[in-house]
Amino acid sequence: MTFHREGKGIIATTVLLVLAINVILYYTAPVWLFYAILPLTLVFLYLIVQFFRVPKRNITQEDGLVVCPADGKVVVIEETEEGEYFKDKRIQVSIFMSPLNVHVNWFPIGGKVSYSKYHPGKYLVAWHPKSSTENERTTVVVKSDSGTKVLFRQIAGAVARRIVCYAKEGDTAEQSKEFGFIKFGSRIDVFLPLGTEIKVGLDQKVTGSETVLAQLPK
């Protein structure tokens, strides 16, 4: 397991902060206060470090399959109107990421990035119905070699305050390879063509780059 480049500065800063707090308490505070604060600071450091972990994965790559773009829990499976790019009916599948999940994001299909746009916005809780259209978010569309387009959207939440997206229009998207990172909890919406066979269920826990999300129509 390695640590994500987006977290190296934060991890280093946290280590220095925790070290400084405990050194100051050790020399200036009552002994009981030092031993009360020490485990709290170590737990905080652990949470920061584990948040930016990048575990090894047995990635799934297969034409016609849509792979989960993130770790988390499936919170939405419904037919809805996608109003930013397609402007028609699509099947939406949403994955909620808690602060304890790995927060790397992976391409759900391979092909060419035909659309990528960042939208500044609010920081409503990630499960709020309006978070998909009002929160800070980045929308990416990938067109597969067969011509099918899949849209996926990184959405910031009440805790997440920075979305990182490396996918640019014209880039080659490799299925199950990293395209972005969301800091400190949020969700990803995936919009699929009608007729797609969904392979996950509500409240199912999924693993990014491994769990098959759907089978695209032929």
Return the closest-CA partner of residue 136 out of 124, 152, 150, 148.
124
What does the domain layout of the chain look like in residue ranges?
A: 2-54, 65-215
Q: Looking at the DSSP assignment, which residues form a beta bridge with residue 88?
A: 82
Task: Over range 156-177, report the average pLDDT.
Answer: 84
Of all residues in the chain, what percent carry a pLDDT higher than 70?
A: 90
Helix residue spans in the chain (DSSP H): 8-28, 31-51, 131-134
Q: Is the pLDDT of residue 55 over 90?
A: no
- Give tens-digit pLDDT for 56-112: 888 999 999 999 999 999 999 999 999 999 999 999 999 998 878 888 999 999 999
Mean pLDDT across the chain: 89
Least confident interval from 52-61, 113-122, 124-133: 124-133
In angstroms, the CA 124 to CA 129 distance is 9
Task: Over range 173-177, report the average pLDDT.
Answer: 95
Cβ distance 90 to 76 under 8 Å? no
Q: What pLDDT is recorded for position 77?
A: 97
- Give tens-digit pLDDT for 3-27: 777 778 888 999 999 999 999 999 9
The band of 48, judged by pLDDT with boundaries at 50, 70 and 90, is: confident
The band of 161, judged by pLDDT with boundaries at 50, 70 and 90, is: low
Q: Is the pLDDT of residue 194 over 60?
A: yes
Tell me the two tokens of residue 29. 């505070």
Give, in words, the CATH class of 65-215. mainly beta
In angstroms, the CA 110 to CA 66 distance is 9
Q: What pLDDT is recorded for position 150?
A: 98
Q: What pLDDT is recorded for position 132?
A: 65
Helices 31-51 + 8-28 axis angle, to 10: 180
Pairing relationship of beta strands 186-192 and 149-156 according to DSSP bridges: antiparallel
Q: What pLDDT is recorded for position 106?
A: 96
Q: What pLDDT is recorded for position 123?
A: 59
Least confident interval from 123-132, 184-193, 209-218: 123-132
Q: Is the pLDDT of residue 124 over 70?
A: no
Instruction: Catalogue the active-site residues.
Output: 186
The band of 159, judged by pLDDT with boundaries at 50, 70 and 90, is: low
Return the closest-CA partner of residue 92 out of 105, 67, 75, 71.
75
